[in-house]
């Protein structure tokens, strides 16, 4: 995303915090909930305007959260750890399975600037023309537009929860002037919400975006601090290819040592070194087939 840079953008302590009243006030009417979700989205927009945020990493982390929600909607048991394994430990020729496909769809939807081509790559079972038709169903204000797209997809393809939520987030992002899809709606909605229509669905989307925007702001603040620390320790790394490896950690939720641009042993040593420096974390708790992330 490209936004105007404020003068203090290099000072992480100035990242704006979500006002407490956004979540503390219990809103019941559509008008009140819409006001709160608008405030939450505006605040998130300010946070996303910061050039010192690891934007790709944030989107990837939110994609994992969205995929986890979608998998739960399908009554599947996989959660974040299994989704990471399904995607990041995938070998050439292997299939990721239904849960892994959901995660891959969310990652592909947000990793590049939005376009019908990018959304088609994320949702290969749907024709680009169909995707464009669904997106055109959204009209009006951003959240209302997203709700209308969500309803249009679920009306035509009742089991296409992942596609519906990805396209709804795409409609929201486009209406807000964001270059990239930011996964928000899925993690805030309940499975029963996906059966709602009209104003009831719009109300559910407003509520979902309040909680998801709050979480996205929290994640952004946390990742900004962690990314700054990783960049600070990067000069201490002597391994050839360490710079490219650091860039991978700054854009991906999880990285397997085998994916790094180093020989296997050097990659494992680099990961251990980064853990010792407090710059990345080992995410699995296993002795083998480990994954690392900021």
pLDDT digit string (tens) for 29-75? 899 999 999 999 999 999 999 998 999 999 999 999 999 999 999 99
pLDDT surpassing 80 at residue 279: yes
The overall longest dimension of the chain from CA atoms, in Å, is 59
pLDDT > 90 in the chain, percent: 88
Cα–Cα distance, 232 to 207 (Å, whole number):
38
pLDDT surpassing 60 at residue 123: yes
DSSP-derived secondary structure letter, 292 = E
- Given pLDDT bands bounded at 50, 70 and 90, which one contains residue 12? low
Other C-beta atoms lying within 10 Å of the C-beta of residue 85 = 21
Q: What is the DSSP string of 46-87?
A: HHHT-TTS-HHHHHHHHHHHHHHHHHHHTT----HHHHHHHH
Average pLDDT over residues 216-229: 96
The contacts found for 185-193 with CB under 8 angstroms, 24 or more apart, are 185/66, 185/146, 185/150, 185/209, 185/212, 186/65, 186/66, 186/67, 186/69, 186/70, 187/62, 187/65, 187/66, 187/68, 187/69, 187/211, 187/212, 187/215, 188/212, 189/69, 189/165, 191/72, 191/73
> Which H or E run contains 282?
strand 281-282
The pLDDT score that the predictor gives to residue 168 is 98
The pLDDT score that the predictor gives to residue 11 is 55
Average pLDDT of every residue of the chain: 93
The pLDDT score that the predictor gives to residue 197 is 98
pLDDT surpassing 90 at residue 170: yes
Q: Are 55 and 180 in contact (CB under 8 A)?
A: yes
144 closest CA partner among 30, 25, 63: 30
The pLDDT score that the predictor gives to residue 14 is 60
Beta bridge partners of 282: 292
> What's the angle, vertex CA 53, arms to CA 51 and CA 57, rounded to 5?
130
The pLDDT score that the predictor gives to residue 13 is 55
The token duo for 127 is 């024709």
pLDDT surpassing 70 at residue 2: no
The pLDDT score that the predictor gives to residue 25 is 65
Average pLDDT over residues 154-163: 97
What tens digit of pLDDT does each residue of 179-220 get? 999 999 999 999 999 999 999 999 999 999 999 999 999 999
Q: Are 283 and 257 in contact (CB under 8 A)?
A: no
pLDDT > 70 in the chain, percent: 95
190 closest CA partner among 155, 161, 148, 214: 161
Q: Is 187 helix (H, G, I), strand (E, B) or coil?
A: helix
- Given pLDDT bands bounded at 50, 70 and 90, which one contains residue 19? confident
What fold is seen in the domain 237-293?
Arc Repressor Mutant, subunit A (1.10.10)
Other C-beta atoms lying within 10 Å of the C-beta of residue 23 = 14
Q: Is the dihedral of CA 252, 188, 41, 120 positive or negative?
A: positive
- Given pLDDT bands bounded at 50, 70 and 90, which one contains residue 229? very high
Within 8 A by CB and 6+ apart from 203, the residues are 30, 33
Q: Are 202 and 150 in contact (CB under 8 A)?
A: no
């Amino acid at each position: 995303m490209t936004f105007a840079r404020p003068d203090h953008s290099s000072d992480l302590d100035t990242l704006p915090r979500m006002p407490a009243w956004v979540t503390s006030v219990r809103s019941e009417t559509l008008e009140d909930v819409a006001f709160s979700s608008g405030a939450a989205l505006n605040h998130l927009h300010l946070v996303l305007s910061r050039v010192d945020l690891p934007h790709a990493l944030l989107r990837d982390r939110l994609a994992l959260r969205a995929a986890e929600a979608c998998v739960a909607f399908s009554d599947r048991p996989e959660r974040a750890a299994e989704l990471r394994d399904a995607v990041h430990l995938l070998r050439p020729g292997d299939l990721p399975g239904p849960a892994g496909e959901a995660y891959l769809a969310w990652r592909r939807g947000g990793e590049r600037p939005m376009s019908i081509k990018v959304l088609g790559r994320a949702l290969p079972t749907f024709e680009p023309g169909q995707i464009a038709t669904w997106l055109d169903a959204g009209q009006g204000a951003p959240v209302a537009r997203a709700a209308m797209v969500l309803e249009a997809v679920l009306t035509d393809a009742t089991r296409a929860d992942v596609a519906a939520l990805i396209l709804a987030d795409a409609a929201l992002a486009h209406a807000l002037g964001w270059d990239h899809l930011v996964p928000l709606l899925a993690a805030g909605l309940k499975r029963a919400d996906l059966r709602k229509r009209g104003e009831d669905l719009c109300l559910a989307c407003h509520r979902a975006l309040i909680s998801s925007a709050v979480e996205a702001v929290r994640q952004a603040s946390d990742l900004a601090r962690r990314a700054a620390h990783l960049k600070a320790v990067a000069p201490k790394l002597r391994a050839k290819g360490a710079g490219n490896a650091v860039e991978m950690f700054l854009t991906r939720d999880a990285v397997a040592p085998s994916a790094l641009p180093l020989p296997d042993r050097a990659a494992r040593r680099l990961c251990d070194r980064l853990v010792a420096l407090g710059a990345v974390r080992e995410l699995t708790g296993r002795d083998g087939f480990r994954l690392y992330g900021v």
